[in-house]
């Protein structure tokens, strides 16, 4: 354990002297993604974990901004009634249409609710507390699990990637997100109970694959809030790697107060503190996902 933990802390290296990253695998920088000549159709990725506070929203915002920085056209969908994604990107919905209005009227033009952000190439479909009523309204709808898929169908041609920030539950909204998605990304906080409940999440994804969306794939498990100084954090990451193997993304997001600071300012960290290690980590995550083929 001590030896592996040492490796996990990046203290060891491979035979050819490539340093090992925090996941215990060789640490790659990943090449800058090629410039795209044309845009769309989008690959849709849900960021999902029913455990609260694991970094879903932070990852959606900063991965979206990082992909936009590499010239991708990105839509971030706020699918949580808390509206943290919208607020984190400085968007206040007031009386403007939100995703809730689109779910209730799938014939409505989704562009009505899309807002451009200050980040070039990054648009948002915002949400607010209205969305908390959606589950009640949708429960009696025909094909109630495919409503978000129908909303997004009309705009996939305009984006390279659509990221859906799910709420911390496995209810009907999350099932809609999984049904609409090509892939799912699971952020896991490097904390003691990180793996608790993950079996249920995987079971839910398997059920959605079985019954609603046969081609959905697990695009990766992302370790967040990692603190290499604590043995605890390193051991949790080691256990996550034991459980998920190569599905664990090489990029690991460190714990830093820069994230709450950036949220308060309504900016992605790539704009708020572009030189900070945390901004660089999300840019690397974007490059890794392109290298893995999860994003164009």
Ligand X SMILES: Nc1ncnc2c1ncn2[C@@H]1O[C@H](COP(=O)(O)OP(=O)(O)OP(=O)(O)O)[C@@H](O)[C@H]1O
- Choose, by CB under 6 A, the member of 48, 54, 149, 162 that binds ligand X: 54
> Which region among 11-19, 46-54, 106-114, 195-203 touches ligand X (by CB under 6 A)?
46-54
Whole-angstrom Cα distance, residue 67 to residue 33?
9
Structure tokens at 238: 């080691």
Helix, strand, coil shares, percent, the chain, to 5 = 45, 15, 40
The residues facing 174 across adjacent strands are none
Residue 177 is a binding residue for ligand X (CB under 6 A): no
Is the Cβ–Cβ distance between 62 and 268 less than 8 Å? yes
DSSP 20: B
Q: How many residues bind ligand X (CB under 6 A)?
A: 18
Q: Which does 163 bind (CB under 5 to 8 A by kind): ligand X, Mg ion, none?
A: none
Across 51-141, the runs of DSSP E, i.e. the strands, are 74-79, 115-116, 122-125
Site map 240..269 versus ligand X, x via CB under 6 A: -------------x-xx--xx--x------
Beta strand 74-79 with 217-224: parallel, antiparallel or unpaired? unpaired
Q: Are strands 161-166 and 43-47 parallel, antiparallel or unpaired?
A: parallel
Q: What angle do CA 30, 32, 35 make, to 5 degrees?
A: 145
The least CB distance from residue 227 to ligand X, in Å, is 9
Q: Nearest approach, Cβ of 273 to ligand X (angstroms)?
A: 13
Q: Near ligand X by CB under 6 A, which window of 32-40, 52-60, 154-162, 214-222?
A: 52-60
Query: Scanning residues 197 to 226, which ones bind ligand X (CB under 6 A)?
Result: 224-225
The nearer residue to ligand X, 58 or 98, going by C-beta atoms, is: 58
Residue-wise burial string across 191-221, b where 16 or more C-beta atoms lie within 10 A, e elsewhere: beebeeebeebeebbeebbeebbeebeebbb
- Smallest gap from Cβ 15 to ligand X, in A, equals 32
Region near ligand X per CB under 6 A, out of 47-55, 107-115, 124-132, 150-158: 47-55
Q: Does the protein bind ligand X through residue 188 (CB under 6 A)? A: no
End-to-end CA distance of the chain: 38
Q: Does 117 bind ligand X (CB under 6 A)?
A: no
- Least distance CB 60 / Mg ion (angstroms): 8
Which one of Mg ion, ligand X, none is in contact with 245 (Cβ closer than 5 to 8 A by kind)?
Answer: none
Q: How far is the CB of 226 from ligand X (least distance, A)?
A: 8
**56 touches Mg ion (CB under 5 A):** yes
DSSP secondary structure code for residue 140 in this structure = T
**270 contacts ligand X (rule: CB under 6 A):** no
**CA separation for the pair 113, 99 (Å, rounded):** 7
Token pair 């390193």 is at which residue? 234
Residue 256 partner contact from Mg ion, ligand X, none using kind-dependent CB cut-offs of 5 to 8 Å: ligand X
- Under the rule (CB under 5 A), what is the footprint of Mg ion? 56-57, 84
**Interface residues with ligand X (CB under 6 A)?**
52-58, 80, 84, 168, 224-225, 253, 255-256, 259-260, 263
């Amino acid at each position: 354990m001590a030896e592996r933990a040492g490796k996990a802390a990046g203290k060891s290296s491979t035979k050819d002297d490539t340093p090992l990253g925090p996941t215990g695998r060789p640490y790659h920088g990943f090449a800058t993604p090629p410039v795209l000549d044309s845009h769309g159709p989008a690959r849709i990725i849900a960021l999902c974990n029913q455990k609260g506070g694991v970094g879903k929203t932070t990852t959606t915002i900063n991965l979206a901004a990082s992909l936009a920085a590499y010239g991708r056209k990105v839509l971030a969908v706020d699918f949580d009634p808390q509206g943290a994604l919208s607020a984190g990107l400085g968007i206040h919905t007031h009386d403007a249409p939100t995703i809730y209005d689109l779910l209730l009227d799938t014939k409505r033009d989704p562009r009505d609710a899309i807002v451009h952000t200050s980040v070039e190439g990054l648009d948002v479909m915002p949400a607010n507390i209205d969305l908390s009523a959606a589950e009640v309204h949708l429960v009696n709808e025909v094909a109630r699990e495919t409503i978000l898929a129908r909303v997004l169908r009309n705009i996939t041609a305009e984006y390279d990637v659509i990221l859906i920030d799910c709420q911390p539950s496995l209810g009907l909204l999350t099932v809609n997100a999984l049904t609409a998605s090509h892939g799912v990304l699971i952020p896991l906080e490097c904390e003691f109970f990180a793996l608790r409940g993950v079996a249920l999440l995987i079971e839910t994804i398997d059920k959605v694959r079985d019954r609603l969306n046969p081609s959905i794939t697990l695009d990766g498990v992302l370790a967040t809030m990692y603190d290499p100084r604590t043995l605890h954090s390193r051991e949790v990451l080691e256990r996550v790697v034991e459980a998920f193997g190569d599905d664990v993304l090489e990029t690991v997001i460190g714990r830093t107060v820069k994230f709450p600071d950036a949220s308060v300012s309504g900016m992605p960290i790539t704009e708020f503190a572009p030189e900070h290690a945390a901004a660089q980590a999300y840019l690397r995550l974007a490059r890794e996902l392109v290298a893995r083929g999860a994003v164009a």
